Amino acid sequence: MSSKEFSFELLTQDDDARLGKIKTPRGSIETPAFMPVGTQGTIKGIFIDDILKTKSEIILGNTYHLLLRPGIDNLNKFGGLHNFMNWQKPILTDSGGYQIMSLSKLNKIDVKIGAIFKSHLDGKKIILSPEKSIQAQKAINSDIMMVLDECPKLTRDKKIISSAIDTSTKWAKRCKIEFGNNKSKALFGIAQGGLYKDLRVESINKLLEIDFDGYAIGGLAVGEKQIDMFRILNETTKFLPKNKPRYLMGVGTPSDILGAVKEGIDMFDCVLPTRSGRTGLAFTWEGKLNLKNSKFKNDNTPLDKECDIRDLNKYSKSYLNHLIKSEEMLAPMLISLHNIYFYQQFMREIRKNIKKGTFGNFYKKYIKFFN
C-alpha cells in the first residue's frame, strides 16, 4: 500500500490489548495513541514545538468551533489547519456532534437538515448538516474525519437512544457520500447505544454496512460509572473489525485509558491533561498531585526528573506551588505541558508492555493508581 494512503496495521495482541500502527501521508501513529485536544487550533497554554517534543503524533481539532472562528474561508487561505497553527503531523477532527449534546440549549435537531445552532458567540444561526460537517473538515484538511452524529445525554430511555442511533445512521450515510473516495484521508463512523449491549451492537452493525476506515465509540464518558464504560467496551468491541482502528471518544483519565486498552481500544482524546494543568493538578508516576496543597510548599523535587522539555525537571514542586498561589500564568503552562508529556510517556509504557506480553501486570499495577 502506498505511503500516500491511510492504513492501519495490527501488529500484535496481548489478550485483547492491541498494538498497532496507523499510517497517513503526514506520518505514522503508534497505537494505543493519545491525542492532545486542540479544540480551537491550539493545545491550551502550550507551544506547538513543545507538543512535538512530548512525542505526540496526532492532535484533535473541533469542526464546530473552527467553523465559527477562524472560519472556513480563512482556513482555506492557509490550505487548512496544519499550516494555520504550524502543526504538520496528522490531525483528527471531531465533527461537531459532541456540541449537539454539550450545547443542547443552543440547537435543535432536524433529521433531514442536521443540527441548527444558535452560535454561542454572537447568536447567529448556524446549520451544521452532515454534508456541511464534512465540507468543513475538508477545509480544515484533517487527516481523520468523523461523521456527524447525535450523541444523547446519559439516559436509560431506550427510545431516546434508539432515535439517536437512527439519526446517526442516516447522517453517517450522508457523510460517507460527501466524503467521497479519498484514500489519503480517513472517515470514521461513530457507534452509539448508551449502556445497552443490544443497541450498541445494532449501531455497530449499521455502521459496518456503510463501511468506514475506522470506528469510534461515542456516548461514553458522559457521566456513567467507569465500571459501566468498561462493561460496554467488553461486550461490544468484539463486534468491531480487527483490521481497523477503534477510537473511544473523550477519554480520559489514565485509568480510563488503561481499562479501555484492556478491552481493545486503540485511540483516545481528552482535555483532561490541560484542563487539570490549569487547576494545578499534575499526573505523575507518584499518582495525581494537587500542587495547590500546602504540603508541596517546601518540596524541592521536580514532577519528573527525566523531563527536560522547557527545563521542566529544573522546576520544583515548591516553585509550582508558589506560582499557583501567586496566580502566575506560568503555572498552568508548565503543569499542562508536564501532563501532556506524562500522558505520552504513559502510552509508550502501555505499548511497550503489550509488545512484551506483560500488559496484564502493568494493568494490575496502575488501574487503581490514578483514581
Q: Which helix (H) or strand (E) holds 99?
A: helix 97-102
Is pTM beyond 0.95 here? yes
Catalytic residue, from 50, 143, 256, 269: name it.
Answer: 269
Question: Catalytic one among 14, 50, 94, 256?
Answer: 94
pLDDT tens track, the chain, 371 positions? 457 899 999 999 999 999 999 999 999 999 999 999 999 999 999 999 999 999 999 999 999 999 999 999 999 999 999 999 999 999 999 998 888 888 888 888 999 999 999 888 888 899 999 999 999 999 999 999 999 999 989 999 999 999 999 999 999 999 999 999 999 999 999 999 999 999 999 999 999 999 999 999 999 999 999 999 999 999 999 999 999 999 999 999 999 999 999 999 999 999 999 999 999 999 999 999 999 999 999 999 999 999 999 999 999 999 999 999 999 999 999 999 999 999 999 999 999 999 999 999 999 999 988 87
> Annotated catalytic, 94?
yes
Nearest in space to 260 (alpha carbons), one of 236, 284, 289: 236
**Which residues have C-beta within 8 Å of that of residue 248, sequence separation ≥ 6?**
216, 217, 220, 221, 233, 260, 265, 267, 268
Cβ proximity of 39 and 98 under 8 Å: no
The domains found in the chain, sorted by start residue, are 7-270 (3.20.20.105), 279-337 (no CATH)
Does residue 143 have an active-site annotation?
Answer: no
